Amino acid sequence: MSIALGDMLVPEAICVQYPARDAREVIIHLGNLLYEAGYVKDTFVDAALAREAAMPTGLPLAGDDNAAMPHTDIEHVIRPGVALATLQRPVIFHNMVSPEEEVPVRLVFLLALDQPKSQIEMLQQVAGVLQDAQLVASLLAAKDKAEVRAILTDHETRTEHSLT
């Protein structure tokens, strides 16, 4: 893989067992961390909130827990990166494909993408994580940032081996 998800994760923007009360709070918090780390412009958080309201990104997964991958247009981004939050309690996002449906979410990937149709490896890896119920469960059980990174790095190593 040319771009590993572990490498795209912004270390300053990983939040473990974050006690968010709603989806808005997660997006604001992760967005601010990306902003402080220099990945996005000061317009990013508002743009991501507006996009989530108009075109939600909640994804019901195969396992017990669900995910969301908020993102927004490229003009709000300085350089590409991924922020990740695991939540203490689920918050309500809306289903991407049927927005009237509520999805309780405990895993959030906030994506900062700077080119249209790019970062495909990174996006495929996010999808790869979402499709692996065991991996989602272990991420949600992680107690700190180091554990989150170790789980993703280990997963990538195994994925690469299985491809060769």
Partner 1 sequence: MSTKPKVVLVACGTAIATSTVVAKAIEEALKQAGIVASIRQCKAAEVPNYSKDADLVVTTTPVRTEKNIPVIQTLAFLTGVGKEAVIKQIIDVLKA
**Residues interacting with partner 1, by CB under 8 A?**
51, 54-55, 57, 59-62, 69, 71-74, 95-99, 111, 113, 116-120, 123-124, 126-127, 130-132
- In the complex, the smallest distance separating the C-beta of residue 57 from partner 1, rounded to whole angstroms, is 8
Q: Which is nearer to partner 1, 12 or 73 (CB)?
A: 73
Q: Which is nearer to partner 1, 86 or 119 (CB)?
A: 119
Q: Which is nearer to partner 1, 62 or 146 (CB)?
A: 62
Q: Which is nearer to partner 1, 6 or 56 (CB)?
A: 56
Q: Are 90 and 54 in contact (CB under 8 A)?
A: no
SS (H, E, C) the chain: CCCCHHHHEEEEEEEEEECCCCHHHHHHHHHHHHHHCCCECCCHHHHHHHHHHHCCCEECCCCCCEEECCECCHHHECCCEEEEEEEEEEEEEEECCCCCCEEEEEEEEEEECCCCCCCHHHHHHHHHHHCCHHHHHHHHHCCCHHHHHHHHHHHHHHHHHHHC
- In the complex, the smallest distance separating the C-beta of residue 55 from partner 1, rounded to whole angstroms, is 4
- In the complex, the smallest distance separating the C-beta of residue 39 from partner 1, rounded to whole angstroms, is 15
- In the complex, the smallest distance separating the C-beta of residue 103 from partner 1, rounded to whole angstroms, is 10
